[in-house]
Structures are given as structure tokens and as C-alpha cells.
Structure 1
């Protein structure tokens, strides 16, 4: 049986732990701080679960459901406990940690995931807030048996989970949505549904136009109509929710802006492309972080 380890005390990590219990999957949790207070979660069906930190057994699969900026220090902290056979799974918003993980762990299988499952955390209590599909793809593929076992595990944990030959496609699809919703809701201090106002439509269109310029330079093909539909759909379906970046600004936490609009700006610069609208949002979020 694979030894599954979930890193951190975040909402999605806690949700994964609850899914392990529901699916009868053995697991342990590694927390990155000295806190010993148990974590609890209430699922959408009303079931409740509680967790403690694990005993530190060497993992076969290490899932990092963290903020993007937490990935590097977490990998560094646990490096001596990660055998070369261990499959490392990156699960976070934005893009930009993949190369870091590939370089830091040149012999390990690596998988990249993104999910639309949702949960929110207040202190030591997590509430599951939404179901959704998940996307996955290999950054470095293991042997056939480990590959099949790992894919089967994530198919259970994050059902429905779709596997992609090129994980960049779903990651960039989600990046387009996050580049719009996250910074705008944080800057204007509104719930996601506030972006349905006509006031924001011209800017949203400009942000997507700029996104398409960079995607095309990267030889990734997207239709603007599809991106507009995806953004509008997410705004409507999560109208009462506050984005993660909004919450980070509200609670004076670091944001993932460097891995969302910042990542897009970095790629754009490598192609000599200027993104006026995204640069403005990036600067405004940086200003809010410093307040």
C-alpha cells in the first residue's frame, strides 16, 4: 500500500485528508509549523472529520496542496525525508513552481494537479464549499506500475480527475480565469459576483486579449470566446464567494500574484511583449500587500 503524505494545514490539504477517510486511503499529514492543535473539517454533506499530525514516515507520494510561494520552502524543509522513489505532487493556483521542483528533485516522479474543489478555512476549522472537477498531468513520469497506482489514487481523491498529456493546457486555462478574478476582486474589495457589473467588462476583455498574446507566443491555442465564457461562468457560479487573493489581502497575507499575473508578465517579457493591463493589476496588488 502506498504511503500518502499531505503537507500543510491548508483548506485543500485538509479536504484531501477527509477524502482519504471517505475513500479508505491510508495517509499522514506533515505540518510545517509547531502547532499541535487538531484540524477539523465539515463536509458539504454535513459529515465531520478531525486530524492530527502524522509520525513522519517516508512517503511514497507527497502532496503539496499549498500556496504557490510556499512550495519552495516546503520542498527545502522536507528534502531529507523525500526518497528518490517518492512521487511529488504539486497542487496550487498559478504556474511557476514546476521548473523549481524538477531541478531540485531530478530523480523523482513529479505530477502537477489543479482542482475546482473548494474549501475555506477559519483558524483550525475547514468548511467544504464546493464540488468540482480536477486536472492532472505528469511533469516527470515514473514506471508503469507506479504511474497506474498514482493515477488511480488521484482519480479516487479528486474525482472526477482528467489526465492530460500536456498539463499546460488546463493550467493556462485556469490561469486566464485567475488573472482576471483574483486581482480585480482583491483590488476592488468585492465578491466574485461583483465582476458581473458592466463597469468591469472592458477591462476584463483587455486582460483576456493580453493573455491571448502571450499564449499565442507560447504556441498555446485558445479561443477568446471560450475564455470569456469560462470567466463569466466562474464569476456566476461563485458569485457569493471571495477569491483567494481577496482573502489574502483582507487578512494581510502574502498573495500568489507572482504565480498568476506575475507569471504571465514574466513569460510575456521573454517574448518582448508588454501587458499594460496585467502590469497595472500586478502593481496594485503589490501596493496592497505592502500596506
Structure 2
């Protein structure tokens, strides 16, 4: 397949390299204007794979793409993709892989012309430099359709499975997206505010806060048709914190490097949906406001 990765950050670079290794023709598109972009991959076992040069910023690649994988930050989705749509054939599959939910909402009217997919992954990746990506943890990628045209694209799960297991197709992508959102609503803001690793959230210090956050999440998710108990959701969140104990969350990294976070699409999204159902979420709202306050501090510098 001809595949373009829009936003080759850590996760985008991991997929670019993996899909290339699986035999696909891969090119990159980013905010940096340069004719080629090189990547070296270090896998989870510490093995370093050869340096590969990818074509970049080529409109011809967009014109002939079979699949465009969008891996920019959630707040960048609209501004990144809107200028490109006129160069993309309506048969091209669009796949969005971001933290949080709601990133494609503004684009939804335009996306009806394309087979469109949403995906979420628990693979870990870190990009210490522009040309080096480290696969920091094995995970699972879940893919599903955003619109009716996307429902005929189940084969994409096999493409991704061949490139980087485990990947699977689900008929209702909202279920895994809400599950991932719940994890992010707890781990991301808490690690960002307290500037700690994920595993530190397992200490008794955070028990009360996590329980209150989970209580709010269960209420909202039930109104969205996602049935889950407090005990099960809490355990899922703590299991992720345990499995990624030595990692820093993406939001923690955004805060420490004074970059915009995805809080609007994580706790912000949760609060917005809760309001639509008349549910109060004071704990999630407080975390949202604390992160926005931190962002505001450096935006005024």
C-alpha cells in the first residue's frame, strides 16, 4: 500500500518504520519542510534497526495514497489535515490515532466523503531526537469505522497486524476509545501536575483522588452506553499505571517542555459530555482547570 503518515512524532514514527518493514511504500508529512526524513528504530529488546530515509512533503504521495494515518496531537488534527484534503482522493482511507476523543469533530462534515477510521493504541514509543524512535512497550492497536464508508475497511486491521502486532478490528470503536479515555483522564493530568512517573500513582497518596475520578467516569460512561463497574475500571487504570510504571505520560512531557497538551480532548471532553447528561464532574473539572492554568503560565511569557 501507499501510506502517508501525517505527524511523525513518536507513535507516527513507530508506525512509519513498522509499515515500511512490512513492505509498504511509506512517506511522511510534517510541519517541517524538507524533502526527506530519516529514522532509526530501537525495538523493545534494545535491538537497533538500520537508518531509513523516507520521502516527505510530497503532494504526489498524498495524491496517490491508499491510506493516510494521522498521528498529530489531538489539538493539531484540524489545522494539519484541512489544507491537505483537496489533494487527497476520496477513495483514500483516512485513519486517526490520537489520545482523547473529539479530535475529528470539526472535520466531520468533510470526512463523510472519505472512508474514515479511528484507532487507539497502547504501544509505547519515545522519540529522543528527530531521527530516532524507541519502541518502549508492546501493546495492542484497536481499529474501527468512524463512518459508513469506513465499515468496508476491516482489512486494514490485518495490514497493521502484519506490521506491528497486536492489531484488531472492532465493530464499535467507541468502547475501546472510552476505555482509553478513562485511563488518560486519570494518569495524564495527575502525572503532569505532580511531575511524576506513571507508577508513582500507585501509592496511597493518590488513592482517594483516583477513586473520585473513577466514580465520575463510570457515571458518564454509563450514560454513553458503556457499562462498567467502579472496581473493574479502577483496576484497568491501575494495571496500565503498573505496566508503564517507569514511563512518563505524554502530558507530563508536554508540561515539562511547555507544549500545549491534549487536555481539551481528555478531561475536557469528559466534562463536556458530562454536562450534556447533567452530570457534575468536579474532580475531572479541577484537573482540567489545573492543566489549563499551567498552559496559560508559559503562554504569557
2:143 pairs with 1:147: no
Partner Cα separation in structure 2 for residue 234 and residue 62 of structure 1: 29
Whole-Å separation in 2 of the counterparts to 1:15 and 1:194: 27
Secondary structure class of the residue paired with 2:291 = helix
In structure 1, distance between residues paired with 2:26 and 2:250: 26
String of CA shifts for 1:257-281, please: whole Å, max 9, x gaps: 0000000001011112111100110
- Secondary structure of 2:157's counterpart equals helix
Counterpart in the other structure of 1:40:
40
SS where residue 38 of structure 1 aligns?
strand
* Runs (5+) with no aligned partner, structure 1: none
What aligned pairs does 1:129-208 form with structure 2 within 5 A after superposition? 129-142=136-149, 147-208=153-214
Supply the distance in 1 between the matched residues of 2:104 and 2:259 (Cα, whole angstroms).
23
Quick check: 1:53 aligned with 2:55?
A: yes
Seen in structure 2, the aligned counterparts of structure 1 residues 95 and 108 have a Cα distance that, compared at 3 Å, is same
Output one character per residue of 1:32-63: Cα deviation in whole Å (capped at 9) or x when no partner. 22256633332224132333333332212110
Conserved? CA contact 1:191–1:242, under 8 Å: yes
C-alpha distance in structure 1 between counterparts of 2:98 and 2:288, whole Å: 19
Q: What is the number of equivalent residue pairs in this alignment?
A: 289
The reply on whether 1:84 has 2:86 as its aligned counterpart is no
Distance across 2 between alignment mates of 1:20 and 1:104: 27
Q: Please say which of residues 51-60 and 71-80 is displaced more in the overlay.
A: 51-60
Deviations 1:231-280 (A, max 9, x none): 11111111111000000000000000000000000101111211110011
Alignment deviations for residues 134-154 of structure 1 (CA, whole Å, 9 cap, x no partner): 11111124388x625433212
Q: Residue 140 of structure 1: SS of its match in structure 2?
A: coil
* Alpha carbons 2:93, 2:117 under 8 Å: kept: yes
| 1:10 partnered with 2:9 | yes
1:127 and 2:134 correspond: yes
How far does the alpha carbon of each residue in 1:68-91 deviate from its partner, in whole angstroms, 9 at most, with x for none?
111111111211211111110000
Instruction: Report the RMSD for the aligned CA atoms in angstroms.
Output: 1.7
Q: Which residue of 1 aligns with 2:257?
A: 251
Which sections of structure 2, spanning at least 5 residues, go unmatched?
none
Q: Which deviations, in whole Å up to 9, do the C-alpha atoms of 1:138-171 show, x marking residues without a partner?
A: 1124388x62543321232342112111111000
Aligned in 2, Cα 1:286/1:143: closer, same or farther, shift over 3 Å? Answer: closer
In 2, the alpha carbon distance for the partners of 1:240 and 1:112 equals 28
**CA–CA distance in 1 between the matches of 2:8 and 2:105?**
24
- Shift of the alpha carbon at 1:98? 3.4
CA distance in 1, matches of 2:264, 2:128: 24
Q: CA deviation at 1:217?
A: 1.7
